[in-house]
C-alpha cells in the first residue's frame, strides 16, 4: 500500500519503520509539512491508500476531517480526542470512508483488557479497585486513553455505577505501564501490563491499516484485533 504517516515522533517513526519492513511505500509528514492539515488535500492524497496518524490532540480533528473529505481510509493512534468520538463517527458515515482507531494498538494490551474484564467480577464481591498508569514525561494527555478504556470496561463488566479512580504518573522514559489493583480485606490482586518498546503499538497500527484496506465504516481496534 501507499501509506502516508502523520507524525514522525517517538511512535510515528517506529510505525513508518514497521510499515517499510512490511513492504509498504511510506511517505511522512510532520508538523512543518502539515500545518492546518496542508498535507491532506485531495490532490496530495490522490495516490495514498491509507493515512496513519500518531500526532497530537491539537491537530487530530483537522487531520481526520481532511482525510474523510478526501475520501481516504485512516488509522488513528493519537489519543486525547475521545470527547469528539460521536462527531467523528457521523463524519465517517457521511463521507463513506474507512476509519479505525485505538487508544492502544498493542495486541498484548488488548489481551490485558480482556483479563481486566474477567477480573472485574471481583467488584461484585468484597473488593475495591484502583487503576494506575505510568508514562514518559513528554506524554501530553492524562489519564492515558488505555487507562480510561480499562475504567470503562471494568465498570461495564462489574455492573457498577461508579468508575474506578485512575492515578497517572509522568516520569522518565516509561513507554507505558498500566495496573489494575483489586483489594479485599483478605487479599490483593495485581494485574499489570508493561510495554517494553513502541514496536507493539507500531505492528498493531500497520496491521490495522492492512485490515482496513477496501473497507468502509468506523472501527475500534478492540473489536477487530482478534482477526489480524
Ligand atoms: N494508540 C496507540 O497505540 C498509541 C501508542 C503510543 C502513542 N500514542 C499516541 O500517539 C500520539 C503521538 O505519540 P508520540 O509518543 O509519538 O508523540 P511525539 O513523540 O510527541 O510525536 C508527535 C508527532 O506529531 C507531530 N505533529 C504535531 N502536529 C502535527 C501535524 N499537524 N501534522 C503532522 N504531524 C504533527 C510532531 O511533529 P514535530 O516534531 O515536527 O512537531 C511529532 O512528530 C499521542 O497522542 C500518543 O498518546 C498512541
Which residues are CB-contacts of 155 (< 8 A; sequence separation ≥ 6)?
A: 120, 161, 162, 163, 164
2, 76, 82 from 117: Cα distances, Å: 37, 24, 21
Q: CB of 80 closer than 6 A to ligand 1?
A: yes
pTM higher than the cut 0.95:
no
pLDDT of residue 180: 98
Instruction: Provide the 8-state DSSP code for 163.
Output: P
Q: CB of 79 closer than 6 A to ligand 1?
A: yes
pLDDT of residue 151: 97
46 counts as catalytic: no
Nearest residue CA, atom 24 of ligand 1?
55
Nearest residue CA, atom 38 of ligand 1?
31
Predicted confidence (pLDDT) per residue in 60-112, tens digit? 999 999 999 999 999 999 999 999 999 999 999 999 999 999 989 999 999 99
User: What is the distance between the terminal CA atoms of the chain, rounded to a whole angstrom?
Assistant: 17
Q: CB of 45 closer than 6 A to ligand 1?
A: no
125 counts as catalytic: no
Q: CB of 56 closer than 6 A to ligand 1?
A: yes
Please identify which of the residues 43, 90, 125, 135 carries the catalytic annotation.
135
Q: Taking the CA of residue 200 as centre, how many other CA atoms within 13 Å lie in the half-sphere pointing to its CB?
A: 18
Distance 185 CA to ligand 1 centre (A): 42
Q: CB of 6 closer than 6 A to ligand 1?
A: yes
Q: Are 25 and 1 in contact (CB under 8 A)?
A: yes
Residue from 55, 58, 225 whose mutation best tests the ligand 1 pocket (most atoms within 8 A of CB):
55
* Three cell numbers written together for 226: 482478534
Phi-psi region of 14 (alpha: psi -120 to 50; beta: other; left: phi over 0): alpha
Distance 96 CA to ligand 1 centre (A): 26
Q: CB of 54 closer than 6 A to ligand 1?
A: yes
> Which helix (H) or strand (E) element contains residue 117?
helix 107-119
**Closest ligand 1 atom, residue 32 Cα:** 40
The dihedral of CA 204, 205, 207, 211: what is its sign? positive
pLDDT tens for each residue of the chain, 228 residues long = 999 999 999 999 999 999 999 999 999 999 999 999 999 999 999 999 999 999 999 999 999 999 999 999 999 999 999 999 999 999 999 999 999 999 899 999 999 999 999 999 999 999 999 999 999 999 988 999 899 999 999 999 999 999 999 999 999 999 999 999 999 999 999 999 999 999 999 999 999 999 999 999 999 998 899 999
Amino acid at each position: 500500500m501507499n501509506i502516508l504517516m502523520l507524525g514522525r515522533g517517538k511512535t510515528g517513526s517506529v510505525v513508518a519503520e514497521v510499515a517499510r519492513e512490511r513492504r509498504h511505500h511510506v511517505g511522512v509528514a510532520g508538523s512543518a509539512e502539515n500545518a492546518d492539515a496542508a498535507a491532506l488535500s485531495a490532490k496530495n492524497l490522490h495516490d495514498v491508500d491509507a493515512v496513519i496518524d500518531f500526532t497530537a490532540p491539537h491537530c487530530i480533528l483537522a487531520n481526520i476531517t481532511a482525510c474523510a473529505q478526501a475520501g481516504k481510509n485512516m488509522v488513528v493512534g493519537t489519543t486525547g480526542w475521545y470527547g469528539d468520538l460521536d462527531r467523528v463517527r457521523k463524519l465517517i458515515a457521511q463521507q463513506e470512508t474507512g476509519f479505525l482507531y485505538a487508544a492502544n494498538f498493542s495486541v498484548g494490551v488488548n489481551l490485558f483488557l480482556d483479563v481486566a474484564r474477567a477480573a472485574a467480577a471481583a467488584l461484585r464481591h468484597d473488593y475495591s479497585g484502583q487503576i494506575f498508569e505510568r508514562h514518559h514525561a513528554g506524554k501530553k494527555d492524562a489519564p492515558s486513553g488505555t487507562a480510561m478504556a480499562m475504567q470503562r470496561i471494568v465498570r461495564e463488566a462489574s455492573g457498577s455505577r461508579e468508575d474506578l479512580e485512575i492515578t497517572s504518573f509522568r516520569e522518565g522514559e516509561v513507554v507505558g505501564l498500566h495496573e489494575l489493583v483489586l483489594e479485599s480485606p483478605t487479599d490483593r490482586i495485581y494485574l499489570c501490563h508493561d510495554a517494553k518498546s513502541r514496536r507493539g503499538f507500531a505492528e498493531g497500527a500497520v496491521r490495522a491499516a492492512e485490515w482496513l484496506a477496501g473497507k468502509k465504516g468506523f472501527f475500534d481496534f478492540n473489536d477487530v484485533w482478534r482477526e489480524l
